[in-house]
Amino acid sequence: MGNVSAVRQALPGQPDGELDLPGIGRSIGRRKKLIFLTTVFAFAASLAFVILVKPRYTGEAKVLVENQESYFTRPASGQAAPDSAPDSEAVASQVQVIMSRDLAREAIRRLGLKGNPEFDPAVGGEGAMSAVLSLLGLKRQRNMTPEDRIYEKYSEKVKIFALPKSRVLTIEFNARDPALAARGANTIADLYIEMQAKEKKERASVSAASLAALIGELRTKLAEAETRVETFRASTGLLMGTNNATVPTQQLGEISSQMAAARNAMAEAQA
């Protein structure tokens, strides 16, 4: 109460209600020890946080979702669809494809996350701590294989989302190592692109097989049509040339005459 009255007490000749700056200074002086200790504690806590908490880096990669339709998968006998761009549901489906376990397993293998203390709880000491806590009844033990634990850590570090009103997917990968963060995002993007290329190749193989069967059927129909045309021409006399000879026979005769004339010219030239 004395401090408050010192703050509110007006100096001689000073109007009531104005701050007493000297009184405030004296109040701060009496509490300078507490203020100093609070400042030192805040500085020590900030320094400990900066030293103990390691920085995290985020690698980012962007991929474009392409239309997977082809001539054989479009409706209306292969006609072009009015809007060939993937819709929002298709883009969201591609997000789930990137988050699939198969792609994650390959990414974990390529990045070498097994044995990495940040992603492998057994190496980082979390596995032993979890076992001790479960024995003491402080933590519920879950039946998870080492691969499942690595996958769980991997899922926490990966974030995938689609940009609004676009067909671009953003892949973010968090890690303490900046090189690993950048390599992780790029590796996931590369795996997704490889998966899309493999699917395109498989669809192309299926389309090629369908085309081969269709071409064989068309060749059979063409041979039958040519046979019917030849039969019709023979029956109507369209194949007969001059002197009641067929066109091929007449052509062979003309070629023989030309060859005989060429031989005579060559003999005369040699003479």
Is the pLDDT at 73 greater than 50, yes or no?
Answer: yes
Separation of alpha carbons 184 and 171, rounded Å: 9
- Domain coordinates of the chain in residue numbers? 2-51, 56-68+87-204, 215-253
Which one is the CATH code of 56-68+87-204: 1.10.238, 1.10.3470, 3.40.50, 3.30.1890?
3.30.1890
Instruction: Kindly provide the b/e burial profile for residues 25-52, where b requires at least 16 CB atoms within 10 angstroms of the residue's own CB.
Output: eeeeeeeeeeeeeeeeeeeeeeeeeeee
- pLDDT at residue 1 in the model: 41
Question: What is the signed CA dihedral for 80, 85, 91, 94, rounded to 10 degrees?
Answer: 50
Q: Which residue has the higher pLDDT, 67 or 154?
A: 154
DSSP 246: B
Is the pLDDT at 17 greater than 60, yes or no?
Answer: no
Question: What is the signed CA dihedral for 10, 13, 14, 16, rounded to 10 degrees?
Answer: 60
- pLDDT at residue 238 in the model: 59
Separation of alpha carbons 131 and 140, rounded Å: 9
Q: State pLDDT tens for residues 98-153.
A: 999 999 999 999 998 888 888 887 775 555 445 545 555 544 445 667 888 899 89
- Which tokens in the block code for residue 255? 């070629």
- Which tokens in the block code for residue 213? 């069967």
| 57-64 and 158-162 strand pairing | unpaired
Q: What type of residue is 124?
A: G
pTM of the full predicted structure?
Answer: 0.56
